[in-house]
Amino acid sequence: DIQMTQSPSTLSASAGDRVTITCRASQSINEWMAWYQQKPGKAPKVLIYESSRLANGVPSRFSGSGFGTEFTLTISGLQPDDFATYYCQHYNTHFGQGTRVEIK
Amino acid sequence: DVQLVESGGGLVQPGGSLRLSCEASGFTLSDYWMSWVRQAPGKGMEWVASIKYDGSQMFYVESVKGRFTISRDNAKNSLSLQMNSLRADDTAVYYCARDHLWGQGILVTVSS
């Protein structure tokens, strides 16, 4: 059973900051990683799939990288609309614990 | 376009059963693993179950093993989740998923 460890659980940042969220798999998952954003009361929205591919309509300030066991989601130039909770997921199995990005 | 449409949710008493269905379109179902994920009120996302392309392998999160059964009918482009012995902590929005693509979700409420 492959487990996903996401960090940090909470991240305080200011608009304009560059932020990075990390997800570590307990064994290699190649590039089969997705990242989601969720705002209160809304369903999660996919941002990144296959580790680094930007989903349709997602701003280019979001990027993903990684292969195997280490993955990162980077937001370059945090916007007010980006304060939300972010989840990683290995396709068809476990999610990370989530990272809440809050205003510093 | 890929579409996943869930149905079958609702209110059920503790100990009861419910069957969720997911109608898939816009792709060949037999080419993909499929899964169910859920989110309980105020909680994080949780993967529930997955099934291999041909239905030959299924995997479940520990908390639903022995109570939930995932199945698929590739000829009918459908995925199902049979949920038995439901508990209050199964209350959640359930999503049908193909890799990173999800349906709109359906609410299951377990309450007396």
- Measure the CA–CA gap between B99 and B35, rounded to whole angstroms: 8
From the CA of A56, how many Å to the nearest CA of chain B? Answer: 12
More confident call, B26 vs A104: B26
Can you give the pLDDT at residue A33?
Answer: 97
Can you give the pLDDT at residue A53?
Answer: 98
- Check whether A19 has a pLDDT greater than 90: yes
Q: Measured between beta carbons, which residues in chain B are less than 8 angstroms from residue A34?
A: 99-100
Can you give the pLDDT at residue B83?
Answer: 98
- Check whether A27 has a pLDDT greater than 90: yes
- Check whether A37 has a pLDDT greater than 90: yes
- Measure the CA–CA gap between A22 and A61, rounded to whole angstroms: 16
pLDDT tens per residue across span B84-104: 999 999 999 999 999 999 999
Residue B80 neighbours by CB distance under 10 Å: 18
Q: Which of A82, A76, A78, A94 is nearest to A33 (CA)?
A: A94
- Is B67 in contact with B15 (CB distance < 8 Å)? no
Can you give the pLDDT at residue B6?
Answer: 97
Q: Which of B38, B44, B42, B30 is nearest to B78 (CA)?
A: B30
Mean pLDDT (whole number) for A85-95: 95
Cα A69 to its chain centre, rounded Å, is 14
- Check whether A76 has a pLDDT greater than 90: yes
Tell me phi and psi for residue A5, to 5 degrees: -115, 115
Can you give the pLDDT at residue B5?
Answer: 97
Positions of chain B with pLDDT lower than 70, given as ranges:
none
Tell me phi and psi for residue B30, to 5 degrees: -70, -5
Mean pLDDT (whole number) for A67-91: 96
Confidence bin at A1 (pLDDT 50/70/90): confident
Mean pLDDT (whole number) for A60-79: 97
- Is A32 in contact with A24 (CB distance < 8 Å)? no
Can you give the pLDDT at residue A104?
Answer: 87
Q: Which residues of A touch B (CB under 8 A)?
A: 32, 34, 36, 38, 43-44, 46, 49, 55, 85, 87, 89, 91-95, 97-98
Q: Residues of chain A with pLDDT > 90: what percent?
A: 94
The residue to which tokens 């929205």 are assigned: A45
- Is A22 in contact with A37 (CB distance < 8 Å)? no
Q: Please give the residue of chain B at the shortest CA–CA distance from A53.
A: B100
Can you give the pLDDT at residue A31?
Answer: 96
A54 bridge partner residues? A48
More confident call, A104 vs B69: B69
Tell me phi and psi for residue A82, to 5 degrees: -90, -5
Can you give the pLDDT at residue B77?
Answer: 97
Q: Measured between beta carbons, which residues in chain A are less than 8 angstroms from residue B5?
A: none
SS3 for B53? coil
- Is A47 in contact with A37 (CB distance < 8 Å)? yes
Mean pLDDT (whole number) for A47-69: 97
DSSP A69: T
What is the residue-wise DSSP string for B72-97?
Answer: EEGGGTEEEEEE-S--GGG-EEEEEE
